[in-house]
Structure 1
Amino acid sequence: MPDSGPVVVTAISENKVTLEQWRALLAVIDAGGYAKAAELLNKSQSAVSYSISQLESALGVKVFQLQGRKAVPSPAGELLYRRARQLLEQAERLEKSAGCLSIKVEPLIKIAADLIIPPIRVLQCLEIFAKDFPDTRVEIFESVLSGTEDALLQRHVDLAIGGRVPTGFMGEKLVTVTMHGVSSPDHPLQQLGRAINYEDMRQHRQIIVRDSGQYRRRTEGWQEADQRWTVSHIKTSLDAIRMGLGYAWLPDAYTHEDILAGRLKYLPVEVGAVREVPTYLTFADNEFSGPATRRLAEVLKENLPKMCGYSI
C-alpha cells in the first residue's frame, strides 16, 4: 500500500485546497461540531459545511464519519487534521515574517513571563530596553508553568521566559531560580524543635500557585498536604504565608527581604528544603525576529541573572 502522505500532497497541489478550508476542518474538530465551529470562525454553519464538502471533493476522501448522530474525524480526517495544523502554523509564520521584513522596527513585542521571575525584574529590564526603542509597544503575559509553553506553541508571543523549552523551539538558559520552603515565624511547623518531614507537612495547609496553561497539565514539587489552598499569583501566596495561613515553596527573589527582616523563616525540612529551577529565554521565531525583539532579549539575558541571583 502506498503511503497516504504523498497522495494527499499531490491532491492538495492539483486541486488547490484553500487555507480557509483547512481552517474550517481544524475548527470543526477542535470545537466538536459544525455549529460551534461556525461561531468560532464567525461564519454561518452552512458556509462551514460547504468548505468541508469542497475540501472532501478536492481530496477525494471523507474527513468525517458518523458515530450515532455525531460526526467524528475519519482516520483520513485525523491525518489531515495534524498536517493542516502544521500547514496553517507555517502560513501564519510566513505571513508574520513577511510583515517583519517590510518594516525596520517592530511596533509591538509580546512576551510571556513566568511568575517564577518577579514581574518587577522584567519591568526593570523593559525600562532599560525602552531607552533604545521608546516607540515599540510591549505586551506582557504573566504566566505560570505550562501557560508559558502554551503562549509559545500558539504563537501568541515573540519571546518567553519559563522553566521549560517546548519541543521544536530553541531556548537559552537565563538564570537558575532558587526556591525555599517558607512560613511565618510562628507557624506550628517552626515550633517542633527539630527537622520536619513530609508527614509533618501533610498535617498543615500548603499554598499552591495554579498552572495558568489551557489544560493545567503541570505541577511542580511536593504537593501532598491534606489541606491545600490554590491561588493564581505568587504574591497572593506570599501574602497568605505572611498571615500565617500556610506554607509554600517560593523563589528567593520574592522572600529575600522578608527573610532578612524576620517576617518569614525557612522551613527546617529534612529533605528537599531547597529547589533549583532553571529558566530559559525562548524566541518564537528567532530567524525572523526584528531588531527590537533581539535587543529586548539581550537586555533580559544581561540583567535578569544579576537581578534574580540571591544567596542567603
Structure 2
Amino acid sequence: MDWDKLRVFHAVAEAGSFTHAGETLNLSQSAVSRQISQLEDSLKVALFHRHARGLILTEQGETLYRTAREVFAKLAAAEASLSEGKELPRGPLKITTPVAFGSTWLASRIGRFLELYPEITVNLIIDDGELDLGMRQADVAIRLSPPRQPDLIQRHIKNIKLHLYAAPSYLKNAGVPQTAEELQDHRLVLFGDTPHPPFPNVNWLRELATGGNRRVHMNTFSVNNYYAILRAVQGGVGIAAIPDYLAQEDSSLVRVMPDVEGPQVPAYFVYPEELRHSKRITVLRDFLIQEVAKTQF
C-alpha cells in the first residue's frame, strides 16, 4: 500500500472533506481527490461515499481508517519520544481535562509550567467527554473517575471537595438557609442530565434538600457543565454545589451552610502505558502534584 496515499487517506478521513484535508496537507483539492481515487483503484474498494455535504466512510473505509489511525498514533508517540532531549524534556504534549478544571484552574497555572520547560509545546483540550488516550487523541488526562480503558496508568492526585455557594445578590433577595429543609424554599442550580455524569451522586444537593424524597417539588435550574453552573451562580440564579477550586475563582461568592460538605471526588492523572518513561509526562505530573498541594481543594 502506497504510504503517501495512506497519509492522504488518513487526513481526508479526519477532515471529512477533500478541501479541508488539502489545507492540512498543503495540497489542492483535486490532488487530494486524485490520490484517494488511485488508492481506491489499487484496493478495488470504495473508501468514501461522496455527498454534496461531505464524505462518509464506507464499511471498508472504516476498517482502513481504524488501522491507519493506530499506525499514525504510534508514529506520533515514537516521534515525540525521539524528540525528547537528554537534558531537558521537549516536544509536543497534549493534555485533556474536564471543561471547568481545564479552563480555570489548569489554564491559569500552565504558564509556570511552560516557563520551567520552554522546549515543551502544550496543547490543552478541554472536554467533558473522555478522549481515547490509547489512540493518542491526547497524551495525558486529568479525570474525575478511574479510567475505564485498559493499559492506562493512573495516579491519584487529590480529592476535590464541594460546598454550597451563592452570590450575595441572591442571598440578599432570598435569604440565607440555615438547615437542609430551608433549601426547599430556594432555587437550586443542579447538574443536568447526561449519560456520563462527572462523578456518582452528582446532584447530592437535591437529595440533601429533599431528604431523598423525589415527590418534593423544588425550584431548580439545571446545566450539564460546572463552569456554566459557576456562571449561573455568579449571576444570582441560585445555590449550587461547586468544587472549592472553582469557587475560589470568585472571592465574592458566599459559602452557604459551611459545615455541609458534599462527596469528595478523586482526581486522577492518567496516561498510556507506552508513555511511562516519557520525560514530558513525568515533569507534568510532578508539576501538577506541587501545584495541587498549594491549592485548597
Task: Determine if the TM-score, normalized by the shorter chain, exceeds 0.5.
Answer: yes
Shift of 1:176: 1.5
Q: Alignment partner for residue 281 of structure 1, among 242, 265, 269?
A: 269
Q: Kindly report which structure 2 residues correspond to 1:1-312, keeping only aligned pairs within 5 A, or say none.
A: 16-18=1-3, 20-65=4-49, 72-100=56-84, 103-107=86-90, 110=93, 111-114=95-98, 115-116=100-101, 119=105, 123=109, 126=112, 133=116, 135-136=118-119, 139=122, 141=124, 143=126, 145-146=128-129, 149-150=130-131, 152=133, 155=136, 158-164=139-145, 165=147, 167-168=149-150, 169-184=152-167, 185-186=171-172, 188=174, 190-191=176-177, 195=181, 200=184, 204=187, 206=189, 219-220=197-198, 221-222=202-203, 227-228=221-222, 234=227, 238=230, 240-242=232-234, 244-255=236-247, 263-266=254-257, 274-283=262-271, 285-290=274-279, 293-301=281-289, 304=292, 306-308=293-295
Q: Cα RMSD over matched residues?
A: 4.6
Deviations 1:54-74 (A, max 9, x none): 322433433235689986433
User: Which structure 2 residue ranges, 5 or more long, are not aligned?
Assistant: 207-217
Whether the 8 Å contact between 2:159 and 2:264 is mirrored in structure 1 is yes
Shift of 1:78: 1.9
Q: Secondary structure at the match of 2:141?
A: strand
Whether the 8 Å contact between 1:109 and 1:157 is mirrored in structure 2 is no
- Distance, in Å, in 1 between the alignment partners of 2:58 and 2:137 is 30
Shift of 1:287: 3.4
Distance 1:262 1:134, change over 3 A: closer
Shift of 1:179: 1.4
Whether the 8 Å contact between 1:189 and 1:267 is mirrored in structure 2 is no
User: Which structure 1 residue ranges, 5 or more long, are not aligned?
Assistant: 1-15, 210-215
Shift of 1:289: 0.9
Whether the 8 Å contact between 1:174 and 1:280 is mirrored in structure 2 is yes
When normalised by structure 1's length, the TM-score is 0.64
Shift of 1:138: 6.2
- Distance, in Å, in 1 between the alignment partners of 2:40 and 2:137 is 31
Q: Secondary structure at the match of 1:249?
A: strand
Whether the 8 Å contact between 2:153 and 2:271 is mirrored in structure 1 is yes
Question: Percent identity over the alignment?
Answer: 21
- Distance, in Å, in 1 between the alignment partners of 2:106 and 2:132 is 21
When normalised by structure 2's length, the TM-score is 0.66
Shift of 1:120: 7.2
Shift of 1:154: 7.3
Q: Secondary structure at the match of 2:233?
A: helix
- Distance, in Å, in 2 between the alignment partners of 1:138 and 1:69 is 35
* Range with greater deviation from structure 2 (63-72 or 171-180): 63-72
- Distance, in Å, in 1 between the alignment partners of 2:250 and 2:60 is 59
Shift of 1:104: 3.3
Q: Secondary structure at the match of 1:241?
A: helix
